[in-house]
Structure 1
Amino acid sequence: MKNIFGTAEEILNYNINGFHEYVLDEPVHLCFASANLCALMGASQDELLSETEDLYLRWLHPADRELYSDFIHELQQGERALKAQYRIIKKDGAVIYVEDSMTSRRLEDGRLAGYSVLTDITGLKNENDNLRFLNETIPCGFLKYTCEKQPRITYINNQMLKILRFPEIKEGELDYLELCKENIFLMIPMEERRKFTLYLNRVYTHGVPMAGEMPVLRCDGTRAYVFGWVTKCINEQGREEFQSVCMDITKRHYVKRANEARRYIKALSDVYDKIFEYDFSTNTVKCLYAQDYSMFKWIKNIPMQMEEATEKWIAANVAEEEKASVAEFFRAFCQKRLKETSSMPPQIEYRALSSKGDVKLYRGIFLKMDDSISLYCCR
Structure 2
Amino acid sequence: MFYDRAKIYVKGGDGGDGCVAFRREKYVPEGGPWGGDGGRGGNVIFRGDGGLRTLVDFRYQRHYKAQRGQHGRGKGMHGRQGGDLVIRVPLGTVIREEDTNRVLGDITVDGQEVVVARGGRGGRGNARFATPQNKAPTMAEKGEPGEERQLVLELKLLADVGLLGFPNAGKSTLIARVSAARPKIADYPFTTLTPNLGVVSLGEGESFVMADIPGLIEGAHDGAGLGHHFLRHVERTKLLVHVLDGAGTGGRDPLDDFRVINRELALYDQTLAARPQVVAVNKMDLPGSEENLERIKNALAGEYEIFAISAVTGAGTAELIRRVYELLKELPVPDLPGIQTAEAAETVHRSEPRFSIRREGDELVVTGREIEKHVAMTDLDNEAAVNRLQRIMQVMGLEQALRDYGAKNGDIVRIKDLTFEFVE
Work out whether the TM-score is over 0.5. no
* Higher share of residues assigned helix: 1
- Whose strand fraction is larger, Structure 1's or Structure 2's? 1
TM-score, structure 2 as length reference: 0.23
Larger Rg: 1
TM-score by length of 1: 0.25
